[in-house]
Structure 1
């Protein structure tokens, strides 16, 4: 029993159902090739020599496909290294605020730096405050998660934000990492000058292939279920792929939900019947789902 699990996970089979369910519900890092490649590009931004014209990274892909987890993983890695060596942290993770304009953009960075917000609508005051903090803290990489949030506005506001990113590189030797949807790529590629400043780290939608089957095998080995589920067997794998729309976030959500149901029912394995019983509606079909019609 449990031969399908990683060795470190097998003791979990002896734990109460409530503890196993809590383990299943906890966020988990999935080191896919795209994720490892993105981490390597971000790390290169930390390890590079000082430069007046720094290069950044675009971490681009569809929603629910693991981009934010990659960004958070990299920031956590830096924090652990810095705390262990008692050094300053070199990575800043910014949750980009909705709306274009420098006031919102600066406010998001100041919040990430845990700085007090002064003169809420005063752009110059926020810029001065941020300049002082960057001179003091000297970060090397600044990650802007959901960067597409600040691209929904007037063209001149968007150009001002990109001008600030260029200034950060010139004045503070700071490499930006822009995380989000395809619109980021489109805006950066509008000019050769901006395009030359960023490397692409794609996080594409999955195809139904050997790589996806390997992903399912890795997930199954990390689920504390007593019986093997055979998630990579063709009928089950195809069903999970169809329900997930090829998105890793959806794949993990489906498998996790099914595993929790298997623990609660005592089945201790994920079957096709278990997956169908979830009533899971793919993201691409939710707008046309019966659940939406009931709400209308």
Structure 2
């Protein structure tokens, strides 16, 4: 196995599998930890564990589309928000993750109830949906509410947005829980006109990667998880800079680029990602404009 020492020990056996199985492994979603993401998870943990007070500190987790926000939330929930059914058969759900699509108060509560698989009628009033949601969150011990696609609250009229934000403020105040908004940088505009919310929502921004030593370390981490039989030297200056240019420093783009490059390396028999393979996918920019599938 010495010839596979460029791969992490837990993945070396995968490199010995047939090509079809190796490709299936490459296509799987995989977490690669890096300092910014790990720090964000720690900040979310501290936010959830803050002392109960009238004005609970909340946060916005913002960044470009496909730049790792959802993976961070997923990893945080795996570590600190796993639902558990206690001996009395009561669901304990410390972290509630839901998605908003518009600044509509009823829709916010409906999305909360859907996460609990709770029965409700769309004809119920706002106050009825609110009471039902509050009761479930109290009984199930919700300690943090995470709202994905937070930037969509910009849709609709200013009055609807004001009403939705006032509702979120009430949820935080009444239940004494922090709220985390997750979205693009437009999420900052959601709270722009409310000084109280601005002071309550601390901002965590996931930056795009720069072509530096941190990016080189990230490439090395990815290479250790790819079941290729030969070392690719992704962190080398020539290959690393080209990968950065094509991916734009976007983590999701980078991950998908390395996937298709690794699969091509298996198909063409090289079993390593070299500059020629990287160049052959220079068109690959899935989060810039329309997504394309190259057929020739």
Superposed CA deviations along residues 209-255 of structure 1, whole A, max 9, x for unmatched, are 11111111110111010101111111211211111111000000000
Any gaps of 5 or more consecutive residues in structure 2?
none
What residue in structure 2 maps to residue 176 of structure 1? 179
- CA distance in structure 2 between the aligned counterparts of 1:288 and 1:118, rounded to whole angstroms: 38
What residue in structure 1 maps to residue 252 of structure 2? 249
Q: TM-score, normalised on structure 1?
A: 0.90
1:31 aligns with one of 30, 33, 53: 33
2:99–2:148 Cα contact (<8 Å) kept: yes
Superposed CA deviations along residues 51-107 of structure 1, whole A, max 9, x for unmatched, are 1211111101111100011111111223448479997220011122x2221122222
Counterpart secondary structure, 2:181: strand
Relative to structure 1, is the Cα distance of residues 101 and 84 closer, same or farther in structure 2, using a 3 angstrom cutoff?
closer
2:266 aligns with one of 256, 263, 266: 263
- CA distance in structure 1 between the aligned counterparts of 2:189 and 2:164, rounded to whole angstroms: 15
Q: Would you say how many aligned residue pairs link Structure 1 and Structure 2?
A: 290
Deviates more, 1:202-211 or 1:103-112: 103-112
Higher helix share: 1
**Offset of 1:110 from its aligned partner?**
1.7
- CA distance in structure 1 between the aligned counterparts of 2:198 and 2:245, rounded to whole angstroms: 35
Describe how 1:160-171 pairs up with structure 2 within 5 A.
160-171=163-174
2:92 aligns with one of 88, 94, 113: 88
Describe how 1:52-63 pairs up with structure 2 within 5 A.
52-63=54-65
Q: Does 1:148 align with 2:154?
A: no
**Offset of 1:288 from its aligned partner?**
11
Deviates more, 1:6-15 or 1:244-253: 6-15
Deviates more, 1:280-289 or 1:112-121: 280-289
1:57–1:198 Cα contact (<8 Å) kept: yes
Describe how 1:1-296 pairs up with structure 2 within 5 A.
1-80=3-82, 82=84, 88-96=92-100, 98-120=101-123, 122-278=125-281, 280-283=283-286, 286=289
Relative to structure 1, is the Cα distance of residues 138 and 289 closer, same or farther in structure 2, using a 3 angstrom cutoff?
closer
**Offset of 1:262 from its aligned partner?**
1.4
What residue in structure 2 maps to residue 294 of structure 1? none
- CA distance in structure 1 between the aligned counterparts of 2:218 and 2:61, rounded to whole angstroms: 20
Any gaps of 5 or more consecutive residues in structure 1?
292-296
RMSD in angstroms over aligned alpha carbons? 2.4
Relative to structure 1, is the Cα distance of residues 237 and 121 closer, same or farther in structure 2, using a 3 angstrom cutoff?
farther
- CA distance in structure 2 between the aligned counterparts of 1:39 and 1:288, rounded to whole angstroms: 30
Relative to structure 1, is the Cα distance of residues 218 and 194 closer, same or farther in structure 2, using a 3 angstrom cutoff?
same
Counterpart secondary structure, 1:215: helix
1:242–1:282 Cα contact (<8 Å) kept: no
- CA distance in structure 2 between the aligned counterparts of 1:138 and 1:52, rounded to whole angstroms: 18
